[in-house]
Amino acid sequence: MDLSNLAVIIAAAACSPNPDERKAAEQSLDQIKHAPQHLIRVLQIVVDGGCDPAVRQAASIHFKNFIAKHWDPHSGDQSKILPSDKSVVRDQILVYVSQLPPILRVQMGECLKTIIYADYPEQWPHLLDWVKHNLQDQQVYGALFVLRIMSSKYEFKSDEDRAPIYRVVEETFPHLLNIFDKLIQIESPSLEVADHIKLICKIFWSCIYLELPRPLFNPNFFNAWMGLFLNILERPVPLEGQPEDPDLRKSWGWWKTKKWVAHILNRLYTRFGDLKLQNPENKAFAQMFQTNYAAKILECHLKLLNVIRIGGYLPDRVINLILQYLSNSISKNSMYTLLQPHLDVLLFEIIFPLMCFNDDDQVLWDEDPHEYVRKGYDIIEDLYSPRTASMDFVTELVRKRGKDNFPKLIQFIVGIFKRYSEAPLEQKPYRQKDGALLAVGTLCDKLRQTEPYKSELENMLVQHVFPEFSSPAGHLRAKAAWVAGQYANITFSDQTNFSKALHCVISGMRDPELPVRVDSVFALRSFIEACKNLDEIRPVLPQLLDEFFKLMNEVENEDLAFTLETIVYKFGEEISPYALGLCQNLASAFWKCVDTDNGDDEADDTGALAAVGCLRAISTILESISSLPHLYGQIEPYLLPIMRKMLTTDGQDVFEEVLEIVSYITTFSPTISLDMWSLWPLIMEALVDWAIDFFPNILVPLHNYISRGTEHYLTCKQPDYQQSLWSVISSLMANKNIDDSDLEPAPKLIGIVLQTCKGQVDQCVEPYLRITLDRLRVAEKSSFKCLLIEVVSNAFYYNAPLTLGILQRFGFATEIFTIWLQMLQEKKKSGAHANFKGEHDKKVCILGLTSILSLPAGQLPGEALPPVFRALLELLVAYKDQLAEGAKAEEEEDEEDGDDDNMDDFETDDEDDEENPDETDESTLRKLAAQAKDFRSYSDDDEFSEDDYSDDEELDSPIDEVDPFILFMDAVTAMQATDSLRFQSLRQTLDPHYEGLANNIAQHTEQRRAEILKEQLEKQQASTTVAS
């Protein structure tokens, strides 16, 4: 197809107002897109200056999308682009990328990124040579553009993957330095010069982000770079050409260069600013950096900050980066010494004004309160915010250098409070009061721990915070709610003050200003957590919930849902009358958040986080009504659409939260409905396709389906759940690329089937044993081997003769017994069992081995019986001891529950020795050493391991009702009665140690029989009493 016809089709597919014409064009593109040289022709349209700009843009988007989907050889479509076409595209795109207008260069940049990330250096070895050549030629910008993409590929790569970037640095950085030096010397430089310098800075940043390349350790080379960076940092930004519009101004090229230089210097300071953190080979370089540059950078930063003190302009991001540097300097003695003479001006004339409510805040508050709220609670915004950086600086200053600075800072705040109180209404410094309240809230941890301030907090709140709940300034009403929330958990000497603040916060939820309502909701969370008398809230709970949902309809914010979660958790079952309405509203709010997430890139993070918050709140509600199962059937229909949609690939971001909801409903509903069963295929499809990381979460609902809906699981054929489970487990277990740890739920599921469906799934035993033994042969992780052996044990408990026969047909019976007994005998240095560590694991093994013990003499070889019996005795004693230890630990935990109430008096001030904050005091070191010793008592002997703990005990199982001691003694008694010669022969193999264990178990079993009988009698008496 010639270029003109192709251009017409591309234009129609992208721009035609006629849907039929657009669809026909799209189909034509689909038919020809894999034709040889198609990609080359599209690129020719993109670079054709005589072509319609709209068509060129449409062609660039088509080109970018095709490259993104089909270029990478890992995508599976590599054969659809001919190698010869790839070669032509690689060569031509380099020629044209710098010549294109910016709107097209962006698209080509994305294409270059895909190609470079996939092909460099293996399939594109001459790319570096092209870059070097053009850095010395007329195509400097194009070379810088490409080099930036190359360097970004390795920005976050670990050592073993960074080798190509070392060559890039060695061969291009001398040229970059030369170009940088020439650009700096240009008088009256244009904006194009700033763009070139910005690219060089971004390349440098990517190359040093994880580690400094070796060439830069050369002092002369490094000094040359640093001289240029400091030149950019110090030199005034040209006044001519600066945009008036604030948004355009902060993105202006010269301010961008200053921002990237500040970025680089911060990174270098973080890496080399502290000698104690250096490897021996880097210490000399770090010393050089500190001596020659750390103080010089600090001096430049202070000069820059002085610009805003006298009313000049600095972009928010530059201020933020400078304050980060200053914050990192506080703990370093030499730097703090340089900073100290400037601290009063810095703190009270620069940083404090940054903390105050300002003109930009007022405009946003008035014109777009939703955006004001979003920015105030967006963690990404915090990374760029001068206000957040100012708060961090103040926090670090009082934490590390409190003795020098905390009293005068508090004195300054008190002075503002006093001036505000004394000023007439029309002259009150509302914005300064706002900054003072922000400082008080920021310093809450320090103030709550430090006398004399600690004992004055309640008075401070009553005098200077609570009155602002009725301030004419909306931002002060919001700040009062926030500060009150920061101090909600202090001990109030007058409980009416707590009550007053609580009711002011609740009233704030009805404030006419949206930001006040939002801050009030977040403060309410702290008050509810601190509230000891819920009668304060009970009377207004319905109205409170109404206000909540009005706000959730206005604002997407995860903290709203978290506050609701706190209310539900605190009130527990009392929330049940509102549970249905709460879940309905949360479901509606969830769909709204999802729609926002899908429709607005800028709101993606906010919508996604808020959606997670809604689902978490739903889970908390479902948990709170667990003793009222009839409510689940009422709530289920409102949650089903969420579960059906979000158990597919559409819900990957909330999959864990949705599974939790499925788990609650399948656990606590009176029965599992057919609608809930319809989710089984979705869960299984996700597990096979992409959700293997969520297998532990998936285990819970699958367990519920099998154990609580056993009849449906066994009898339903459309779909066939037994076949579905077998298909998934067998494919996963056979996949050698899946790690052992990711597969641990699979043998657990097999165990659930065998325990729950005892006597009803004989046909499944052989195939499940086959895949289990196949995986056991290649398993490496000991905890996974234990789970595979437990499948065998469960099979013996399910039907011992059937299982033994299958193992004998496999020719694996002797080997499996050998492996099993060896694993049972393995001990750690401490003498504890190395395998089958949990109570559940031991119990499963006991039931399986006891079932083997019960086999008739003719089925089990005589020589196998004594080792099985000895292993059982040791296992039963270990199980008994573990149960006793668990009961004792639970009693101790109950006794210690009240100890947490005293934690308010435990000071966690991080301020090190004020005379030398770089050194830790001796008492702290002693405490840390003691803690380390306690930890080593576990870790040195491998006693402390996540493998020791399992959620299995939390899953109900038919074996919960089986007492393994009684089962064992009944089996021994039966053997004694039916085959006394075999029994006597077995006893003769026991040495005194095992005789003692057997007597111990026999005595304990009689105790267990008596305890069980007593429990049964008590239950009968209780039921009789209830009936009468």
Q: What is the mean pLDDT of residues 818-833?
A: 89
Q: What is the mean pLDDT of residues 242-270?
A: 93
pLDDT at 952: 52
- pLDDT band for 703, please (50, 70, 90 cuts): very high
Q: Are 866 and 991 within 8 A, CB to CB?
A: no
pLDDT at 618: 93
| Residue 181 CB burial class (10 angstroms; 0-12, 13-18, ≥19) | middle
Q: Cα(65)–Cα(59) distance, rounded to whole angstroms?
A: 10
Pick from 546, 621, 552: nearest CA to 593: 552
Q: Are 557 and 610 within 8 A, CB to CB?
A: yes
pLDDT at 883: 93
Burial 126-146 (b: 16+ CB within 10 A, else e): ebbebbbebbeeebbbbbbbb
- pLDDT band for 381, please (50, 70, 90 cuts): confident
Residue 912 vs residue 394, higher pLDDT? 394
CA dihedral 79, 81, 84, 88 (to 10 degrees): -150
Contacts of 96-100 spanning 24+ positions with Cβ under 8 A: 96/43, 96/46, 96/47, 97/142, 97/145, 97/146, 98/139, 98/141, 98/142, 98/145, 99/47, 99/142, 100/46, 100/47
- Give the DSSP H/E element, type plus range, for residue 1024: helix 992-1027
pLDDT at 384: 87
pLDDT at 26: 86
> Would you tell me how many other CB atoms lie within 10 Å of the CB of residue 169?
23
What are the structure tokens assigned to 99, written together?
Answer: 């010549």
- pLDDT band for 337, please (50, 70, 90 cuts): very high
- pLDDT band for 494, please (50, 70, 90 cuts): very high
**Across the chain, what does the average pLDDT equal?**
89
- pLDDT band for 77, please (50, 70, 90 cuts): very low
Q: Cα(614)–Cα(568) distance, rounded to whole angstroms?
A: 13
Reply yes or no on whether the pLDDT at 885 is more than 70. yes
Question: Which sign, positive or negative, has the C-alpha torsion 940, 946, 948, 949?
Answer: positive
Q: Cα(806)–Cα(813) distance, rounded to whole angstroms?
A: 8
Written in H, E and C, the secondary structure of 716-732 is: CECCEHHHHHHHHHHHH
Q: Using omega within 30 degrees of 0 as the cis cutoff, is the peptide bond preceding 219 cis? A: no
pLDDT at 1002: 94
Reply yes or no on whether the pLDDT at 807 is more than 50. yes
pLDDT at 321: 96
Reply yes or no on whether the pLDDT at 180 is more than 70. yes
Reply yes or no on whether the pLDDT at 34 is more than 60. yes
Q: Are 66 and 42 within 8 A, CB to CB?
A: yes
pLDDT at 930: 42
Contacts of 907 (CB under 8 A, 6+ apart): 449
Reply yes or no on whether the pLDDT at 255 is more than 60. yes
How does pLDDT run across 321-334, given as a tens digit for each residue? 999 999 999 999 99
Question: Which sign, positive or negative, has the C-alpha torsion 400, 404, 408, 410?
Answer: positive
Q: Cα(329)–Cα(326) distance, rounded to whole angstroms?
A: 5
How does pLDDT run across 931-969, given as a tens digit for each residue? 443 433 333 344 434 444 444 556 788 899 999 999 999
Contacts of 58-64 spanning 24+ positions with Cβ under 8 A: 58/10, 58/11, 58/13, 58/14, 58/15, 59/7, 59/10, 60/104, 60/107, 60/108, 61/14, 61/107, 62/10, 62/13, 62/14, 62/29, 63/39, 63/107, 63/111, 64/107, 64/108, 64/110, 64/111
Collapse the DSSP code of 827 into the 3-class scheme (helix H, G, I; strand E, B; otherwise coil) and give the result.
strand
Q: Cα(301)–Cα(326) distance, rounded to whole angstroms?
A: 8
Instruction: Look up tokens 């013996």; give the residue.
Output: 796
Pick from 545, 546, 541, 592: nearest CA to 564: 545
How does pLDDT run across 423-441, given as a tens digit for each residue? 999 899 999 999 999 999 9
pLDDT at 998: 93
Burial 419-438 (b: 16+ CB within 10 A, else e): ebeeeeeeebebbbbbbbbb
pLDDT at 954: 64
How does pLDDT run across 729-761, given as a tens digit for each residue? 999 999 988 999 999 999 999 999 999 999 999
pLDDT at 947: 44
CA dist 145 → 85, 113, 156, 167, 182 (Å): 23, 10, 19, 18, 18
Q: Residue 717 — φ and ψ, nearest 5°?
A: -115, -15
Q: Are 631 and 625 within 8 A, CB to CB?
A: yes
Q: Cα(349)–Cα(309) distance, rounded to whole angstroms?
A: 6
Range of weakest confidence among 303-317, 405-419, 643-657, 852-866 = 852-866
Q: Using omega within 30 degrees of 0 as the cis cutoff, is the peptide bond preceding 767 cis? A: no
CA dist 505 → 274, 437, 511, 514, 605 (Å): 45, 16, 10, 14, 28
Q: Cα(463)–Cα(445) distance, rounded to whole angstroms?
A: 20
Q: What is the mean pLDDT of residues 717-726?
A: 96
How does pLDDT run across 200-217, given as a tens digit for each residue? 999 999 999 988 999 999
Pick from 439, 381, 446, 380: nearest CA to 415: 439
Q: Which amino acid is at 949?
A: Y
Q: Which amino acid is at 111?
A: C
Alpha helices by DSSP H, listed for 487-557, are 495-508, 514-530, 541-554
HSE-up of residue 34 (Cα within 13 Å, Cβ side): 9
Instruction: Look up tokens 């699958």; give the residue.
Output: 702
Q: Residue 387 — φ and ψ, nearest 5°?
A: -65, -45
Q: What is the DSSP string of 171-184?
A: HHHHHHHHHHHHHH
Select, from the ranges 286-295, 548-557, 1013-1022, the one with the highest average predicted confidence (pLDDT).
Answer: 286-295
Pick from 786, 802, 716: nearest CA to 754: 802
Instruction: Look up tokens 């009898």; give the residue.
Output: 715
pLDDT at 159: 77
The crossing angle, in degrees rounded to 10, of helices 191-208 and 140-153 is 30
Q: Residue 330 — φ and ψ, nearest 5°?
A: -60, -40
Q: What is the mean pLDDT of residues 394-404?
A: 94
Reply yes or no on whether the pLDDT at 611 is more than 90. no
CA angle 184, 188, 194 (to 5 degrees): 50
Question: Which sign, positive or negative, has the C-alpha torsion 670, 676, 678, 682?
Answer: negative
Determine the straight-line distance between the first and last CA of the chain, rounded to whole angstroms.
92
Pick from 712, 703, 719: nearest CA to 754: 703
Q: Cα(807)–Cα(799) distance, rounded to whole angstroms?
A: 12
Q: Which amino acid is at 323?
A: L
Question: Which sign, positive or negative, has the C-alpha torsion 958, 961, 962, 964?
Answer: positive
Residue 562 vs residue 667, higher pLDDT? 667
pLDDT at 161: 84
Q: What is the mean pLDDT of residues 984-1006?
A: 92
How does pLDDT run across 451-476, given as a tens digit for each residue? 999 999 999 999 999 999 999 999 99
HSE-up of residue 83 (Cα within 13 Å, Cβ side): 2
Reply yes or no on whether the pLDDT at 925 is more than 60. no
Q: Residue 720 — φ and ψ, nearest 5°?
A: -90, 100
Q: Cα(667)–Cα(623) distance, rounded to whole angstroms?
A: 10
What pTM was computed for the model? Answer: 0.76
CA dist 372 → 351, 363, 473, 533, 635 (Å): 21, 9, 15, 34, 35
pLDDT at 2: 79
Q: Are 661 and 615 within 8 A, CB to CB?
A: yes
- Number of residues that this document lists for the chain: 1028
